[in-house]
């Protein structure tokens, strides 16, 4: 049997070597700092959540407490359909309601009512974000009246509780309850 030289590392051990701390104090310190214990993992998780702003996982009270100011814009408007407007060149999807599409029953009536509400008036909208089609989602007002509330009260749109949290449920009339309820409006757990 051949003796191996001390300078030659066997094939299986090639690569970066793990450096171990020397001495009793060094090993204890390394164990204390790098040993994954339940307490250290929990502390690191809390620190990570606090530093990255991931506190919204702890409940809606934190998320609702600090609301950023919504951007407001206004201008002349035209109706696209029963729940979409173009205000000052921006396409705005009304937040919290669902109106029938133009090719569905009562879709044309919904658009006509929307056009009558905004015709010749200045419409003010609060930007609340974007939907998956790139439209601005917001609440719009004509003469300080909520346009979505007026359309729902006219029986030409429905409250969409998933997004409105029931804001327009009290304004629904029997005619609006007869409209189809879109699946995207169902609240999810």
Domain segments of the chain as ranges: 21-56, 71-185
In this prediction, residue 104 carries a pLDDT of 92
- Cα separation, 125 vs 111, whole angstroms: 18
DSSP state, residue 169: G
Structural tokens at position 58: 């702890």
How many other CB atoms sit within 10 Å of the CB of residue 2?
A: 4
- Cα separation, 115 vs 123, whole angstroms: 12
Range in 39-43, 81-85, 121-125 the model is least confident about: 39-43
| CA angle at 185 for the pair 118 and 55, rounded to the nearest 5° | 105
Average pLDDT over residues 175-186: 88
Give the tens place of pLDDT for each residue, 123-170: 999 999 998 888 899 999 999 999 999 999 999 999 999 999 999 999
For 79-115, b/e burial (b = at least 16 CB within 10 A) is bbbbbbbbbeeeebbbbbbbbbbeeeebbeebbebbb
What pTM value is reported for the model?
0.62
| CATH of range 71-185; options 2.30.42.10, 2.40.50.90, 1.10.1030.10, 1.10.287.3510 | 2.40.50.90
């Amino acid at each position: 049997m051949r003796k191996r030289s001390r300078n030659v590392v066997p094939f299986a051990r090639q690569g970066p070597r793990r450096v171990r701390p020397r001495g009793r104090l060094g090993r204890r310190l390394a164990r204390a700092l790098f040993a994954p214990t339940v307490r250290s993992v929990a502390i690191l998780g809390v620190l990570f959540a606090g530093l990255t702003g991931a506190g919204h996982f702890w409940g809606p009270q934190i998320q609702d407490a600090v609301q950023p100011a919504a951007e407001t814009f206004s201008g002349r408007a035209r109706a696209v359909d029963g729940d979409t407007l173009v205000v000052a060149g921006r396409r705005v999807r009304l937040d919290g309601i669902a109106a029938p599409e133009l090719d569905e029953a009562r879709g044309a009536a919904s658009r006509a009512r929307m056009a009558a509400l905004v015709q010749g008036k200045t419409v003010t909208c609060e930007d609340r974000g974007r939907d998956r089609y790139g439209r601005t989602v917001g609440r719009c007002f004509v003469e300080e009246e909520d346009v979505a509330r007026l359309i729902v009260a006219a029986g030409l749109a429905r409250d969409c509780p998933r997004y409105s949290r029931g804001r327009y449920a009290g304004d629904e009339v029997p005619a609006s309850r007869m409209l189809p309820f879109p699946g995207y409006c169902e609240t999810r757990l």
